[in-house]
Chains A and B, each alone.
Chain A
Amino acid sequence: MARLLLSVPIAYAGTAVLLAFAYVARPALVSPVLLLLIVRQAAPLAIAVLGQSLCMRVLSLDLSIGGVILAVSYILTSGILRLPEPLLLLICVLFGAAVGAVNAFFITRIKASSVIVTLATALILSGVVFSLSQLRAPGEAPAILRYIGQTRIGIVPISPLFWLAIFLPVALFLRMSVFGRYVDAIGANPRAALISGIPYVRIVTIAHILSSILAVFSGFVLVGFVGAGSLDIGRDLPLTSLVAVILGGVTFGSGKGGSLGPAVAAFMLTFSFNLLTSLGVGEPGKLMLQGAIIALAATRRSPD
Chain B
Amino acid sequence: MPVSIMKSNRSGLRLATIALPALLFVVLSILSPAFLSVQNLSNINGQIAALLIVSLGQLVVALIGGIDLSVGAVLSLTTTIIVSVSPDFALPAALLAGIAIGLVNGIGVTVAGVHPLIMTMASMTFLQGLALLIHPVPGGTVPDYLAGLAWTSAAGVPAAFFWCVAAVTIASFLLSMTRFGLRLFAIGANQASAARNGIAVRWYSVSCYVICSVAATIAGIFISARVSSGDATVGAPFALDSITAIAMGGVQLAGGTGSVAGVVLGTITLGLLTNGMNLVGISPFLRTAATGLLLLVAISMQRRTVIGV
Question: Given A59-B307, A110-B300, A246-B115, A287 and B126 touching (CB < 8 A)?
Answer: yes
Residues of A within 8 A of B119 (CB): 295, 298
Residues of B within 8 A of A59 (CB): 307-309
Q: Does B114 lie within 8 Å of A284, measured CB to CB? A: no
Any A CB within 8 A of the CB of B304: yes
Any A CB within 8 A of the CB of B121: yes
Q: Does A285 lie within 8 Å of B114, measured CB to CB? A: no
Residues of B within 8 A of A285 (CB): 129, 133
Nearest residue (CB) in A for B293 is A124
Any A CB within 8 A of the CB of B178: no
Residues of A within 8 A of B300 (CB): 106, 110, 112
- Choice from B108, B115, B131, B243 contacting A252 with Cβ under 8 Å: B115
Q: Does A116 lie within 8 Å of B243, measured CB to CB? A: yes
Q: Which of A34-42, A90-98, A126-134, A213-221 contacts B (4 or more CB under 8 A)?
A: A126-134
Question: Given A116-B243, A127-B288, A298-B114, A106 and B132 touching (CB < 8 A)?
Answer: no
Nearest residue (CB) in A for B292 is A123
Enumerate B253-309 residues with CB–CB distance to A below 8 Å: 253-254, 283, 285-293, 295-296, 299-300, 303-309
Any B CB within 8 A of the CB of A121: yes
Question: What is the minimal beta-carbon distance from B128 to any residue of chain A, in angstroms?
Answer: 5
Q: Does B122 lie within 8 Å of A298, measured CB to CB? A: yes
Query: In the assembly, what is the distance between CA of A68 and CA of B96, in Å?
Result: 40
Question: Given A110-B303, A119-B244, A242 and B129 touching (CB < 8 A)?
Answer: no
Q: Does B285 lie within 8 Å of A127, measured CB to CB? A: yes
Query: In the assembly, what is the distance between CA of A246 and CA of B127, in Å?
Result: 21
Any B CB within 8 A of the CB of A32: no
- Choice from A60, A124, A289 contacting B292 with Cβ under 8 Å: A124
Any A CB within 8 A of the CB of B208: no
Q: Does B123 lie within 8 Å of A123, measured CB to CB? A: no
Any B CB within 8 A of the CB of A194: yes
Question: What is the minimal beta-carbon distance from A285 to any residue of chain B, in angstroms?
Answer: 7
Residues of A within 8 A of B299 (CB): 106, 110, 112-113, 116-117, 120
Question: What is the minimal beta-carbon distance from B195 to any residue of chain A, in angstroms?
Answer: 14
Enumerate B95-153 residues with CB–CB distance to A below 8 Å: 108, 112-115, 117-119, 121-133, 136
Query: In the assembly, what is the distance between CA of A117 and CA of B295, in Å?
Result: 8
Any B CB within 8 A of the CB of A292: yes
Any A CB within 8 A of the CB of B227: no
Q: Does A288 lie within 8 Å of B126, measured CB to CB? A: yes
Nearest residue (CB) in A for B67 is A115
Query: In the assembly, what is the distance between CA of A243 and CA of B119, in Å?
Result: 10
Any A CB within 8 A of the CB of B157: no
Q: Does B114 lie within 8 Å of A295, measured CB to CB? A: yes
Question: Given A120-B293, A283-B132, A113 and B288 touching (CB < 8 A)?
Answer: no
Query: In the assembly, what is the distance between CA of A251 and CA of B114, in Å?
Result: 10
Q: Does B122 lie within 8 Å of A294, measured CB to CB? A: yes
Any B CB within 8 A of the CB of A83: no
Q: Does A284 lie within 8 Å of B136, measured CB to CB? A: yes
Nearest residue (CB) in A for B232 is A284
Q: Does A295 lie within 8 Å of B108, measured CB to CB? A: yes
Any A CB within 8 A of the CB of B45: no
Question: What is the minimal beta-carbon distance from A160 to any residue of chain B, in angstroms?
Answer: 26
Q: Does B247 lie within 8 Å of A116, measured CB to CB? A: yes
Most buried by A among B67, B123, B288: B288
Question: What is the minimal beta-carbon distance from B55 to any residue of chain A, in angstroms?
Answer: 14
Query: In the assembly, what is the distance between CA of A239 and CA of B254, in Å?
Result: 19
Query: In the assembly, what is the distance between CA of A121 and CA of B305, in Å?
Result: 22
Question: Given A110-B300, A131-B289, A295 and B307 touching (CB < 8 A)?
Answer: no
Residues of A within 8 A of B130 (CB): 284, 288
Identify the 4 closest CB pairs spanning chains A and B, nearest first. Answer: A127-B289, A291-B126, A287-B129, A123-B292
Chain A contact residues, CB within 8 Å of chain B: 59-61, 106, 110-117, 119-128, 130-131, 134, 190-191, 194, 200, 239, 242-243, 246, 251-253, 283-292, 294-295, 298-300
- Besides A110-B304, A116-B247, A291-B122, 17 more A-B contacts (Cβ < 8 Å) are A59-B309, A111-B303, A112-B300, A112-B304, A113-B253, A127-B290, A130-B285, A134-B283, A134-B285, A190-B307, A190-B308, A246-B118, A252-B115, A294-B122, A295-B108, A295-B119, A299-B112
